[in-house]
Copies of this chain bind each other. A is one copy, B any other.
Amino acid sequence: MDEFELISRITHNTYNRKEVKVGVGDDAAIYSARTEFNEIVCVDTMVEGIHFLTHFSSPSEIGYKALAINISDIAAMGGIPKYYLVSLAIPSTWREEQIDEMYGGMKDLAKLYHMDLLGGDTVSTEDKLIITVTAIGEIEKGKACLRSYARPGDTVFVTGYLGSSAAGLSLLYKECKIESDALRQYFLQRHKKPVPRVDVGLICSRYGRVALNDISDGLSSELNEIAEASNVTIEINKEQLPVHPELKKLGSKWEEWVLFGGEDFELAGTIPHEVWDDFYKECEAAKIQVYPIGHVTKQGVSKVFLNENNHAEILGKKGYNHFKQR
């Protein structure tokens, strides 16, 4: 398959962003940056058998998620996603239609954010499909939400239910079950098609000093990263952690999913206490639910504590269980 044929089939050479000067089809793409903004860039790779399984997710869902996790990284800086590039290593076991569907899944998501595909590479490989997405966005100068911004007194918050993605994965593995098909679909979708929180990230960027991380590796891991980058102690309260009302019915692992499950792609962050009410109200007006879950308590000890019934324990940087570890 010719890489330019493939990409030009997808792009049709029309671009959403007027700043695109040269799109797909030359040695590189060229775009014009807006003067009042800085550029944001990140890259993420998904490997078949490790980050996705073809019997769990369709090619379209795999493409969607590969782009979504990159958009989520831009959201976690408070930024606006604008462009993406895709590199695919394709084994011979994948058919051309499947690759088209994968690009289709990315394109559908990109459309929601007026993002343009600016290029990529397609190579053949012998074993597993590997998809690497580079995403480029922008952030108003001086408005980025950095991990190092947490200060004592800040409110710690998350932007949505935790553990839903891990519950969806557990359902796919038939480790648990659920009666309602609608609920089953909800949890599966949270795993297969997570929604990057660009909306909340943008609101955060207007509040000056907000530390943000997207929940890819699990709440505990993300909060530890903020604690380390800011050199602060974070305390969160177990009873404040937002979960779907039906999550607990999925079995005893729900607490683990909430703290360590990851891949919810909600945002976790800290915001100065004095602007919390305004922030909450602005989110509410935008029909976005945000949940306070604790506080930054002091400078100097980069740890996260989980409080439950007046007892505090250290929340370690425990990672996410990939497919291959099951």
Contact = CB atoms under 8 A, between A and B. Distances in A.
A1 interface: yes
A251 interface: no
Contact of A43 (B31, B49, B85): B85
Contacts of A42: 27-29, 85, 119
Given A26-B229, A28-B77, A148-B7, A123 B39 contact: no
A32 interface: yes
Contacts of A125: 47, 50, 127-128, 130
B74 A123 contact: no
Most B CB within 10 A of own CB, among A31, A42, A127: A42
B2 A142 contact: yes
A16 interface: no
A83 interface: yes
Contacts of A299: none
Interface residues of A, number: 72
A200 interface: no
- Copies of the chain in the assembly: 2
A120 interface: yes
Contact of A4 (B33, B149, B213): B149
A287 interface: no
Interface in A86-110: 86-87, 89
A232 interface: no
Contact of A26 (B47, B120, B123, B146): B146
Contacts of A40: 28-30
Contacts of A4: 146, 148-149, 209
A33 B19 CA distance: 13
Contact of A38 (B27, B32, B86, B147): B32
A124 to B, nearest CB: 6
A127 B124 contact: no
A40 B136 CA distance: 11
Contacts of A44: 87, 121
Given A77-B27, A123-B51, A148-B7, A21 B45 contact: no
B134 A45 contact: no
12 contacts: A1-B142, A4-B146, A21-B144, A26-B146, A28-B135, A30-B40, A33-B33, A39-B39, A41-B83, A45-B89, A47-B89, A89-B130
Given A41-B118, A45-B87, A89-B89, 11 more contacts: A5-B142, A27-B74, A27-B214, A33-B39, A42-B85, A43-B87, A45-B121, A46-B123, A47-B124, A47-B125, A134-B134
Interface of A: 1-2, 4-5, 7-8, 11, 21-22, 25-33, 35, 38-47, 49-51, 72-74, 76-77, 79, 83, 85-87, 89, 118-121, 123-128, 130, 132, 134-137, 139, 141-142, 144, 146-149, 209, 212-214, 229
